[in-house]
């Protein structure tokens, strides 16, 4: 949570100051442009639920797998011995192509390279 200085409206920074050798460190909010300082005495916590976005299939969805070849490859999910494959250049031109596989039996997708 961002907190701003009530005097000059600049953003406050969090620092720790040890009060002494036996004391535990305390948190302070300080302003870098004026002498304003505030001792943090309670914990502030906001729980924000994470909602995941639906991700687009970067390979083009089911239509991308229509005209591809089969090869002998073992599926890591079901151990089937055949998979569809395609090669795509996803990095710079001096890097090797990445090979994408889709299991013929269970439809699991994985990548090599």
Q: Is the pTM of this model over 0.75?
A: no
How would residue 23 be classed by pLDDT, with cut points 50, 70 and 90? low
Structure tokens at 27: 């948190």
Q: What is the pLDDT of residues 31-45, one digit of tens each?
A: 999 999 888 887 777
Fold match, 1-46 / 61-112: yes
Q: Which residues are part of a known binding site?
A: 5, 8, 31, 34, 75, 78, 103, 106
pLDDT on residue 94: 85
CATH fold for domain 1-46: N-terminal domain of TfIIb (2.20.25)
Domain ranges, ordered by start, for the chain: 1-46, 61-112
pLDDT on residue 66: 80
Architecture of domain 61-112: Single Sheet (2.20)
Q: Which residues are part of a known binding site for Zn(2+)?
A: 5, 8, 31, 34, 75, 78, 103, 106
The average confidence (pLDDT) of the chain is 83
How would residue 69 be classed by pLDDT, with cut points 50, 70 and 90? confident
């Amino acid at each position: 949570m961002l907190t701003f200085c009530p005097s000059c409206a600049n953003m406050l920074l969090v620092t720790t100051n040890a009060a002494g050798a036996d004391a535990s460190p305390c948190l302070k909010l300080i302003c870098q442009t004026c002498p304003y300082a505030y001792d943090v005495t309670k914990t502030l916590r906001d729980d924000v639920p994470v909602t995941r976005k639906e991700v687009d299939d970067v390979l083009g969805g089911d239509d991308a797998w229509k005209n591809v070849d089969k090869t002998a490859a073992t599926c890591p999910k079901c151990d089937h011995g055949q998979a569809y494959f395609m090669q795509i250049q996803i990095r710079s031109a001096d890097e090797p192509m990445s090979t994408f596989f889709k299991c013929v039996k269970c439809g699991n997708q994985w990548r090599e390279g």
